[in-house]
Amino acid sequence: MVAIGLSVPYAILPGSSIQGDTPDFNDDENGTNTAHRGIFTVSDNKFYEWKYMLKGHPDSWCVGSSLDFLILLDTNGFPFLLNPTSSSCIYFPRFPHSFFSSYSLFLDDHVLRKSFVSKAVLMSYTSASFPSHTPQYILVLIFSCARKLAYCQHNKWVEFFDAKSSYCDIIIHNNNLFALADNSWLEGWEFCDNGPVKVLDVRPSMEIDDEEDREFPWDTFSTQSYLLMLEKDFMLVKRFIGNYVTTDGEVVYEGHDDDALCPYRTKYFVVYKLEIGEVQWKKKRSLNDNVLFVGANESASVPAQALHGCETDSIYFTDDRWEEMNLDSLYGGHDWGVFSLKNQCVNSLNPYAHKMNPPPIWVVPTFL
């Protein structure tokens, strides 16, 4: 690996021997079969090779990053944590069979492993049961096509009994879990030794924007929403993805040109702040000189002054369209870049790649 500091956010990429500004990932057909990985650092906008990052786990599939750990599934679907800097690992038990009740018995395990978990985050705590004060970890997931919530505590997987919605994002804040439902409701749980206790259930409305609805119609765009904390406020980040986008950036209908490759691409973001008193998500025009990181990682905000080379009020994103990125051998994992809230535009970080396997994922150091 090139000697660089990892005190800034970086994206983990498929293994590549090419360094510089524009490596070619299109030919990386065996990106998951090697222990090597590439990284992209936001401080200098450069690509580097990190040899043996996944030594001993070359075929593992990354489903998240949180608390400086990568959250991975091994070839048998067992979840574990890997600190890429120290190479230390923490292992969790396999998911119970009940978690797979909504899946066909004939679904290929290799395909299931890449779509079963849509978000994973970690909570760290100390317990009197462990005199050495060694940190203990609770792993929380959004899982299955129904987007349910589950957690692993004391080496046992449990599904949330009072989480009745379908969820699109989860975060940990002050050792509480907060979940954003598909209908933009916000729920929260405090973890105790006996498990989580629900402490928040807010059902805010969403500020309506008719112009936005006209510009991003439902028949040509999909949306993905993220939850994060910005200073002391809950923020909802809404991502607009063109379902079929030409090489010129035009969003078209399916079948526009049967001979042309028109993979999905992110075109726009909108940011909302939760106004508790009004019980409403209200649109924000600024991130108060912060930078956001969203995708498969635990959604995070970082002050721009801590990130040399990053534009303020920008959103760094990676591809987390799990249900589609593995359906086609020609594209998937490619949809990553930077959106400027100030300039209202997207800058793709690698516009010439249609397939990135595995997809990029941000790692945001916890001390930032």
Question: Rounded mean pLDDT of the chain?
Answer: 88
Q: How high is the pLDDT of residue 207?
A: 94
Q: How high is the pLDDT of residue 1?
A: 47
End-to-end CA distance of the chain: 23
On whether both 320 and 346 belong to a single domain, the answer is yes
Domain C-terminal end among 203, 235, 254: 203
Domain C-terminal end among 203, 230, 245: 203
**Residue of 233, 326, 335, 216 lying closest to 286 (CA atoms):** 233
CATH number at residue 102: 2.40.128
Q: How many domains does the chain have?
A: 2
Q: Which residues of the chain are modeled with pLDDT < 50?
A: 1-4, 17, 27-29, 106
On whether both 258 and 165 belong to a single domain, the answer is no
C-alpha 149/C-alpha 158 separation (Å) is: 9
Q: How high is the pLDDT of residue 132?
A: 59
Note down the domain range covering 284: 209-368
Cβ contacts of 346 within 8 Å, gap of 6 or more = 265, 266, 267, 268, 337, 338, 339
**Residue of 100, 92, 113, 70 lying closest to 157 (CA atoms):** 92
On whether both 169 and 110 belong to a single domain, the answer is yes
Q: How high is the pLDDT of residue 91?
A: 97
pTM of the shown model = 0.93
On whether both 136 and 228 belong to a single domain, the answer is no
Instruction: Write the pLDDT tens digit of every residue in 177-200.
Output: 999 999 999 999 999 888 899 999
Q: How high is the pLDDT of residue 2?
A: 47
Domain C-terminal end among 169, 203, 237: 203
On whether both 198 and 216 belong to a single domain, the answer is no
- Asked if residues 143 and 160 have their Cβ atoms less than 8 Å apart, the reply is no
CA torsion, points 31, 322, 149, 76, in degrees to nearest 10? Answer: -40
C-alpha 72/C-alpha 65 separation (Å) is: 9
